[in-house]
Structure 1
Amino acid sequence: MAQTSDLTATVRERAGKGAAREARRNNLVPAVIYGNKQDPLSIQLPYKETAMAIFGGGFLTNVITIDVDGKKEKVIPRDYQLDPVRDFVMHVDFLRVGRNTVVTVEIPAEFINEEECPGLTRGGVLNVVRHAIEVNCPADSIPDTIVCDLKGLDLGDGLHISAVNLPEGVEPTITDRDFTIATIAAPAGLKEESDDEDGEAEAEAVEAPSED
């Protein structure tokens, strides 16, 4: 499941661009906490700890406990803005996590049992169509990865979402089709050999004398 981490924050007494610029001058990151039928809360976070959390990976799928002046808020990051030139963290949006909070997130696809995939053992290539899968799931039980089993797949086969065992409560956002996550492509040499054989067969058919 998604990791849980902690951050500390203080309330921003004033909102607006001027207050946000002042926070950044003081090496703080302006942020807002919203959702769960409560009023939005403007806060500011220590820059170093916030940047480490963002650039450490998986930030948008981690549940975070923020201590705001002694009151703890359980949240999940929904968005953050970076300075386009310096990659400086400019602002963060957090969503409060309640008992029934459902979020839409992209979860990385993890491929297993490559050694039991006939297509790969025959020299095929794993062609990943979706490196991440967008799903709806409970905010307090976000999976780290979506496990995709390659066992038994041969050359030319595809792995579709219907073949993936999703964790309880996790549903793909695409529901109108059985979309492809990956395929097992034939190696270039085998494909070229097959094309040559097809061409020779066509040539023989053309050159074969008539029996009339």
Structure 2
Amino acid sequence: MAQALTLNVLPRDKAGKGSARAARRDGLVPAVIYGAKKPPVMVTIKLNELIALLNRGGFLSHQYELSVDGKKERVLPRDIQLHPVTDTPLHVDFLRLAKGSKVTVEVPVHFFNEEKCAGLKRGGVLNIVRHEVELNVPATDIPESIDIDLASFDVGDSIKISTVSLPEGCEPTITDRDFTIATIAAPSSMRSEESEESEEAETEESSED
């Protein structure tokens, strides 16, 4: 499970566009902490620290621990507004994580044991349909990734959500179908051979007629 990362924030006394613009001029990004039936708290984040976290990837699926006036808040980023031209962060919404509640997050998919996969050893290609899967997960126990073992898959196999062992308490938001995460596609040489065999069979059937 993902560990909470520490993010330094500063309290912000005033709301409004004027206060937000002043913060940005000082190299800060306005943000708000809300949820868990508590009043919202306005804060600011250092722009360079926020950009460093964004560059790591997975910002919206990681938990963070914020310290505001000596009080720690466990949060999950729910939205980040970017400048339409420069992509500079303009504002962040943080959701408080209450024990016992659930949140919806996009969890990245990781594959392992490629070297043991029969399909890949035969020249097959891993075709990833979903790089992330949306899950309902415990708010205080968010998985860092969905790990899929490729060792048992062969050419032509589909890896569906039903074949994946999800962490305890996690469930996909899509429940009306057994959707595909990835497939082991046949190599072009194998497809060519199958096509030739099919054509030969059709020729033989035509000659018999």
Alignment of structure 1 residues 60-209 onto 2, 5 Å: 60-208=60-208
Q: Give distance in 1, aligned partners of 2:102 and 2:54.
A: 22
Give the TM-score of the pair, scaled to structure 2. 0.94
Residue 185 of structure 1, CA deviation: 0.8
Q: CA RMSD in A?
A: 1.4
Kindly, what percent of the aligned residue pairs are identical?
54
Name the amino acid aligned to 1:133.
Answer: V
Q: CA deviation at 1:187?
A: 0.4
Between 1:133-142 and 1:108-117, the stretch displaced more is: 108-117
Q: Which runs of 5+ in 2 are unaligned?
A: none
Equivalent residues of 1:4, 1:65 under 8 A apart: yes
Where in structure 1 do 4 or more consecutive aligned residues deviate above 6 Å?
none
TM-score under structure 1 length normalisation: 0.93
**How far does the alpha carbon of each residue in 1:71-127 deviate from its partner, in whole angstroms, 9 at most, with x for none?**
222211111111122121100010011112311111111112223322111111111
**Conserved in 2, the CA contact under 8 Å of 1:29 and 1:46?**
yes
- The alpha carbon displacement at 1:204 in A equals 2.0
In structure 2, C-alpha distance between the alignment counterparts of 1:82 and 1:164, rounded to whole Å: 35
Distance 1:118 1:188 in 2: 17
Partner SS, residue 33 of structure 1: strand
**Paired residues of 1:23 and 1:29 also in contact (CA < 8 A):** yes
Q: Is the 8 A contact 2:4 2:74 kept in 1?
A: no
Amino acid in the other structure paired with 2:184 = I
Query: Does the CA contact (< 8 Å) of 1:112 and 1:148 recur in 2?
Result: yes
Answer whether contact 1:2 1:61 (CA < 8 A) is retained: no
**Structure 1 segments unaligned to the other structure (5+ residues):** none
Pairs aligned (count):
209
Matched residue SS, 2:176: coil
